[in-house]
Amino acid sequence: MPPIKKYLLTPGPTEVPPEVLLEIAKPVIHHRTPEFSAELDRARQALKPLFGTREEVLILNSSGTGAMEAAVCNLLAPGEEAIFVNGGKFGERWGKILNAYGIVAHEIKVEWGHPVEPEMVEQFLARYPRSQAVFVQASETSTTAVHPVETIAEITRRRDVLLVVDGITSVGVFEQKMDEWGVDALVTGSQKALMLPPGLGFIALSERAWRKAAQISTPKFYFDLKRELKAQRDEHTTAYTPAVSLIRGLNKSLELIHRETLPAVFGRHRLMAEAVRAGARALGLELLAARAPAPGVTGILAPQGIDGTKVVRMMRDEMGVSVQGGQDHMKGKLIRIGHMGYVSPFEMLVAISALEIVLSRLGYRFPSGVGVAAVQNVLARSASI
């Protein structure tokens, strides 16, 4: 039996603070009321600094993928061309969504764990000059690497090409400057850094993205962002019944985030990532994304001869510490520790301690406690705790 206290240290869903859970547990209110309108307006306003935008942030009832789909079907028409970065499972998903809508999608294949080279984006734009948009992840959760969104935006904003960014493990984890960088669409979901249960998607569009959206007549109904903008901005309500309880929870979580302050939230994520990476290195383990590791999730390669799937299962079933393994060809080879949202830097001690104990039981040899000591040293040196 796992211990009574469990730790959800996966790259989504993540733990939800008790204050947020209590808010969600309150009686449901009707959504066509001044009370709900005030909740909706407040949440949409408080989201803007996390996106780094003054544009409207729209709230959708869906997981993050719904917001990704909304970006595709509102910005492109069947037969149009686009470029997408496939550096992992979520990049691959951009390709699948683009295909589903009949968009001619040109794939930049990136080795797992690596960031895309901005020159590749430039080359693809030269090779496929009819491309109307570039799709990328800010943080590719499946490989735990970050892509250089700011640099890619320098390329796209000089051209008549939209940059669409999946910020699902980036918004609320590290700084996003949508307006300043020139990102045209930024999407996220509720169950990662926003400290909520799954169920909400979010999307913000730039001015030029809204202009493009105005010309597009791709068949869609539920995810019609023009309809949704009119409802949320002008009528202070949603087009259809919103996830009222989650939106109230969202206001609470945004209150917690802004009370901590965004720079402190970003600093905490950096510190947790640094601590876990130090712990892994001290254990003689390598990172999948050593060159550009994500601040919200760390991918540690399982030692030779040790099954990563087993490591993840033992950590969860015997110690109550949930982390995640690798997907596709990294199945059994990768251990992904999530450190996003409602997580204290001290929980990195828990993660690395559980990992140490399991690895040791599976026969991997190292001086006991070196990983934990490395985590503690990083925490002890930090000025912020």
Shortest distance, CB of residue 323 to ligand PLP, whole angstroms?
A: 15
Residues 6+ apart with CB under 8 A from 162: 75, 132, 133, 134, 156, 184, 185, 206, 208, 209, 212
Taking the least distance from each CB to ligand PLP, the nearer of 202 and 364 is 202
66 contacts 190 by C-beta, under 8 angstroms: no
Taking the least distance from each CB to ligand PLP, the nearer of 83 and 319 is 83
Under DSSP, is residue 135 helix (H, G, I), strand (E, B) or coil? strand
Taking the least distance from each CB to ligand PLP, the nearer of 299 and 303 is 299
Taking the least distance from each CB to ligand PLP, the nearer of 279 and 338 is 338
Taking the least distance from each CB to ligand PLP, the nearer of 64 and 95 is 64
Under DSSP, is residue 239 helix (H, G, I), strand (E, B) or coil? coil
Taking the least distance from each CB to ligand PLP, the nearer of 71 and 350 is 71
Residue 125 and residue 132: Cα distance in Å, rounded? 9
Shortest distance, CB of residue 189 to ligand PLP, whole angstroms?
A: 4
Residues 6+ apart with CB under 8 A from 49: 258, 262
Shortest distance, CB of residue 273 to ligand PLP, whole angstroms?
A: 15
Residue 186 and residue 206: Cα distance in Å, rounded? 9
Residue 298 and residue 144: Cα distance in Å, rounded? 6
Shortest distance, CB of residue 276 to ligand PLP, whole angstroms?
A: 17
Taking the least distance from each CB to ligand PLP, the nearer of 137 and 298 is 137
Shortest distance, CB of residue 303 to ligand PLP, whole angstroms?
A: 26
Closest-CA residue to 227 (of 238, 242, 215): 238
Cα 275 to Cα 302, 360, 376, distances in angstroms: 18, 20, 8
> Contact positions toward ligand PLP, by CB under 6 A?
12, 63-65, 90, 137, 141, 166, 168-169, 189
Shortest distance, CB of residue 340 to ligand PLP, whole angstroms?
A: 9
Residue 17 and residue 285: Cα distance in Å, rounded? 32
Shortest distance, CB of residue 328 to ligand PLP, whole angstroms?
A: 15
Cα 2 to Cα 70, 167, 234, 320, 323, distances in angstroms: 40, 33, 50, 5, 14
